[in-house]
Structure 1
């Protein structure tokens, strides 16, 4: 389809709120979006330059634009959500429609039963939920069972059948779990009063039940019925203990939904908390895969609509970290201090914990995804032009100028590639000059890679501050590689990251994975360099111990070490063994020197 055809379609779009859909030449739906102003929003796809490559690809594929006008922005939110789940367009964030969450059902029947279920039957019964955790449901049902004896049988307890004496009380009655409505031992009014109290408890309102139990306990105590008063007191304690565990904020905060988002380059993680009377009655986190570099605001708006629909939330107020469009009739609050702010922080912690768990799972089940995310994060954190799939790190080692060496360690996809590690003996520098040593080894390393036609790294890390970095840059300049390879220095004391030409260091978040990889590189280079340095010093000490014997030169020392493997064994060798290897004259001198 031509640009003229797209322009014609754009001209016919209204300025009303609604939902738009993009289709490709095969008639397949590519993307669904919502807009306050359809004409303005859809035109923006074709009349501005997009930073995201995915968005540019999407726009090239569009041949047909369809739209649905709706009365309000809220209707647009809901319609967009439903269409994404129905059609699952390629360029939309994917939403999974979970239908297997547990509910608490108060059955529509005479003497209602209360139980958990995963099936919603439209027979007039009341359903509370869905709950994200079966444990929450079991805890609530156990609490209800302790407080209010209800029937568990599925008999039809109509008045006619009870009056006709059709049923007899069962074991549940005899052990005190049921008050026997099947034989009229409990009235409908008394039973319904219990159901009304249970309904409030499930909603998170414990106040009425607490007041009722306290009143009953006092009445029994005044009537000198201490045994009954003690039973009510025990129920009161059960309820108070449960409330203490479930209430985490001000009990006046009721009928509120809390939403926060934590995101990275590829995914957004939205946590949802539902509060009633200061208690969290629901908590759930979803993962949303980004398709077009969606902003946190776009992801959060989509998630709010989805989660409120999924969990049938009727709350009229939401707490969020920033202002969002949540639809008509919803009060949007961005808390700054106090209990409300603590709730936001709690929600964000939940989102971060969920994200960490997903990372751990990804390392095991999908290592490529973990590596891709890490590389993308490092690219952003370190302000690189490409992902640092191949990194090299340099470190110098010398003690008081003796045996100066350097080490180069190699990381590929964030992991050590030990077969590519290299040691360097410093050849052109006299004395302990770390700057000149760094200049030498960087030059030698990349001169060799260029001569052999080997691939160059995307990032060089220099263990040291501005001085070391400047020395390494001289070598890159000499080789014509300045600007071809990204290079940074890391100073040990405060973990400052230095860039060429910038005297002000950058500080990474101490908990960031990028800093952990850089620290791992630096520590590995230090370990590898120190190991080589110790080995060299040890060899030097051995060589000098033998060569200090008059008449024993380097050739004789090598000959002896090749045969005996160590100086200790040479010292322990008999004169006969020494004679057999180096002759009588030298053997005599060596034996006398050690004995």
Structure 2
């Protein structure tokens, strides 16, 4: 657009001709601007007419619709019993001043998919929501898969913690709400049924039982004395117990005990007596037990929702085999925007119901569905039909339970309230810390929610396996999905300055080019603050990199250790020449900086350790060591119980193995370390 010229001097200084020329130029500019506005408005009208024409051509069938903005970003995904009627309601009424009006004004195009039933529409809608991440839908993030307790398909099955795709060769129990719940179940199985937990490689190479056998946590099937039919019976009883058949297990153990006693096999009877006592104690310690009110349903999910302060929490509690295994809290995004979208011709539902419906539809797309789900809010009936169509069996959604199920639901509601209160408290604290840091550094940040910090750290062991980390803080929280690790190569081992130069150059060279060209994507924008874990030396190196890339030096700050390297005495060192800043031991800004720096250090050191372990062990297996053949490898594994045991052994211990000379022991020691 042409810029208007400066206003003319007073009439006394200009002639009439000059004044007229200026007025004509001004009129020309205003006319051009008016023409451009009219052109934009005309294009918008044509675009809206095109969209309305598409809407009028839609069928009266169930389906799913998607709205996109001018940048082709998805705005909203919805389902409808009648596509034409539903989508038309967005464009035929005046929604000015509402969230719907704000969304409709941004719609540049739409897409629709026709399906056979409303249940299919519901499943497709939530598949697309999870895939497209729309701006105006309630969205639950994809969490890691649930853990299981696994019995391997071995002659003497191994019990282990498992997370991932299932294999038909093995038996799985769960899912469990957390890894802690699985580990607790494993400990219980060890105490009562004495199932092995060792790796198959260790199991196949042992010559005597391990410590777990000595403390009566394993029956020792790794040696011939422990390879008895009783082990298979224990595995079967453990499986039945995990499925909730506790009475049957106890009755079977008591019958076996009496049979041994009648044959005067008192030692075997005493072992079964101890097993029964251990199992009885476990059942007594179980706080929530299945009652007659639950009938034969042993697997139940309980869902409770709480909405407050613009945030929502859905708490999921799991009952498996009649035992309450614990709960897990989920916090969705876009709650305010999504719950505000309400058309005049549709029923008004509470935010709690909308959030719960979104969770049920999205969560059970990729998770096992129990036959009974107890819920704190009534939901639409089509949800149960959609879940039944997905699983191939009937699914009941019960909103007003009684008896034991009511107790479970009340516990779940309390858990949701506590989790949401904790989240709001933590978010308030984090926002206060962000504000304190921005104020302490006097930074011009127009939107505090978009304040972004990237922090770098270097980690190595005496110059070996050098690893750099970059962690990101944005939106008042650490953004783990944006973390990056950088393997540092081509430098002198232990040169932290060269490592910092390399990681900063690799991180910001392309961003600098994009920023200078004005084409940088929002998700890869330059941060508002770059923290380096170090003092003036590291800051000087960062300054050199930023000067070469043409970036603003005021972005860089180093976290310098205080006197005696004591926590709370850190100071900030700046690359643009500003004086050092001491924030104070109790400063909220220092707490945030320490949180970000510690996370960068953790992320760097875990990456370095993994790389070092891969270099030392993964890249130097026993069979790759010259002089170690299959026979010597078997002897070493049998003696030390696995590769890890061989790696931890001293040269003297290695040399004590038959066939391993002192020279070969030295070679093995160096290769594995």
> Conserved in 1, the CA contact under 8 Å of 2:257 and 2:273?
yes
> Conserved in 2, the CA contact under 8 Å of 1:101 and 1:132?
yes
Distance 1:369 1:155, change over 3 A: closer
Instruction: Please name the residue that 1:208 is paired with.
Output: 248
1:19 positional shift: 2.4
Q: Does 1:333 align with 2:398?
A: yes
CA distance in 1, matches of 2:237, 2:413: 33
Extract unaligned runs of 5+ from structure 1.
Answer: 371-595
Instruction: Please name the residue that 1:535 is paired with.
Output: none
Instruction: Please name the residue that 1:99 is paired with.
Output: 144
CA distance in 2, matches of 1:232, 1:204: 20
Q: Does 1:11 align with 2:51?
A: no
1:352 positional shift: 0.6
CA distance in 1, matches of 2:228, 2:134: 53
Instruction: Please name the residue that 1:111 is paired with.
Output: 156
Instruction: Please name the residue that 1:298 is paired with.
Output: 354
CA distance in 2, matches of 1:177, 1:215: 23
1:61 positional shift: 0.9
Residue by residue over 1:507-548, the C-alpha shift from the partner in whole angstroms, topping out at 9 and shown as x without a partner, is xxxxxxxxxxxxxxxxxxxxxxxxxxxxxxxxxxxxxxxxxx
CA distance in 2, matches of 1:268, 1:45: 26
> Conserved in 2, the CA contact under 8 Å of 1:256 and 1:319?
no
Most deviating of 350-359 and 106-115: 106-115
From 281, 288, 292, the counterpart of 1:248: 288
1:189 positional shift: 6.0
Q: Does 1:67 align with 2:107?
A: no
1:272 positional shift: 1.5
Give runs of aligned pairs for residues 407-486 of structure 1, distance below 5 A. none
- SS of the equivalent of 2:364 reads helix
Q: Does 1:351 align with 2:420?
A: no
Give runs of aligned pairs for residues 157-176 of structure 1, distance below 5 A. 168-171=207-210, 175=214, 176=216
Give runs of aligned pairs for residues 550-569 of structure 1, distance below 5 A. none
Distance 1:156 1:75, change over 3 A: farther
- SS of the equivalent of 1:292 reads helix
> Conserved in 1, the CA contact under 8 Å of 2:77 and 2:129?
yes
Instruction: Please name the residue that 1:374 is paired with.
Output: none
Most deviating of 350-359 and 35-44: 35-44
Distance 1:246 1:13, change over 3 A: farther
Instruction: Please name the residue that 2:348 is paired with.
Output: none
Provide the aligned length of Structure 1 versus Structure 2.
364
Most deviating of 187-196 and 59-68: 187-196
1:57 positional shift: 0.8
CA distance in 2, matches of 1:276, 1:35: 35
Residue by residue over 1:150-185, the C-alpha shift from the partner in whole angstroms, topping out at 9 and shown as x without a partner, is 333434799xxx9xxx86443358625444545554
Instruction: Please name the residue that 1:198 is paired with.
Output: 238
> Conserved in 1, the CA contact under 8 Å of 2:195 and 2:218?
yes
From 313, 317, 320, the counterpart of 1:276: 320
> Conserved in 1, the CA contact under 8 Å of 2:291 and 2:404?
no
Distance 1:305 1:170, change over 3 A: same
Instruction: Please name the residue that 1:85 is paired with.
Output: 130
Distance 1:236 1:48, change over 3 A: farther
1:26 positional shift: 2.4
Q: Does 1:235 align with 2:275?
A: yes
- SS of the equivalent of 1:26 reads coil
Distance 1:293 1:174, change over 3 A: closer
1:145 positional shift: 0.6
CA distance in 1, matches of 2:157, 2:379: 43
Most deviating of 9-18 and 19-28: 9-18
Give runs of aligned pairs for residues 462-541 of structure 1, distance below 5 A. none
Distance 1:281 1:178, change over 3 A: closer
CA distance in 2, matches of 1:94, 1:286: 11
- SS of the equivalent of 1:25 reads coil
1:257 positional shift: 1.9
> Conserved in 2, the CA contact under 8 Å of 1:251 and 1:277?
no
> Conserved in 2, the CA contact under 8 Å of 1:257 and 1:318?
yes
CA distance in 2, matches of 1:28, 1:9: 19
CA distance in 2, matches of 1:167, 1:261: 51
From 164, 169, 189, the counterpart of 1:124: 169
Most deviating of 213-222 and 134-143: 213-222
1:247 positional shift: 5.0
CA distance in 1, matches of 2:404, 2:187: 29
> Conserved in 2, the CA contact under 8 Å of 1:24 and 1:64?
yes
> Conserved in 2, the CA contact under 8 Å of 1:143 and 1:238?
no
- SS of the equivalent of 1:132 reads coil
> Conserved in 1, the CA contact under 8 Å of 2:303 and 2:374?
yes
Instruction: Please name the residue that 1:40 is paired with.
Output: 85
> Conserved in 1, the CA contact under 8 Å of 2:147 and 2:161?
yes
CA distance in 1, matches of 2:261, 2:97: 73
CA distance in 1, matches of 2:229, 2:83: 56
Extract unaligned runs of 5+ from structure 2.
Answer: 1-43, 341-350, 389-394, 436-673
From 401, 407, 424, the counterpart of 1:342: 407
CA distance in 2, matches of 1:276, 1:194: 20
Instruction: Please name the residue that 1:322 is paired with.
Output: 378
Instruction: Please name the residue that 1:26 is paired with.
Output: 71
Most deviating of 189-198 and 357-366: 189-198
Distance 1:86 1:15, change over 3 A: same
CA distance in 2, matches of 1:115, 1:343: 28
Instruction: Please name the residue that 1:257 is paired with.
Output: 301
1:66 positional shift: 1.1
Distance 1:58 1:5, change over 3 A: same
Residue by residue over 1:125-171, the C-alpha shift from the partner in whole angstroms, topping out at 9 and shown as x without a partner, is 3333343333211210011111222333434799xxx9xxx864433
> Conserved in 1, the CA contact under 8 Å of 2:352 and 2:377?
no
1:269 positional shift: 1.3
Distance 1:250 1:147, change over 3 A: closer
Distance 1:134 1:43, change over 3 A: same
Of structures 1 and 2, the larger Rg is shown by: 1
CA distance in 2, matches of 1:179, 1:368: 54
> Conserved in 2, the CA contact under 8 Å of 1:22 and 1:32?
yes
1:284 positional shift: 1.6
1:357 positional shift: 0.9
1:64 positional shift: 1.6
1:73 positional shift: 3.5
The one of the two structures with greater contact order (alpha-carbon pairs below 8 A, sep at least 6) is 2
> Conserved in 2, the CA contact under 8 Å of 1:19 and 1:76?
yes
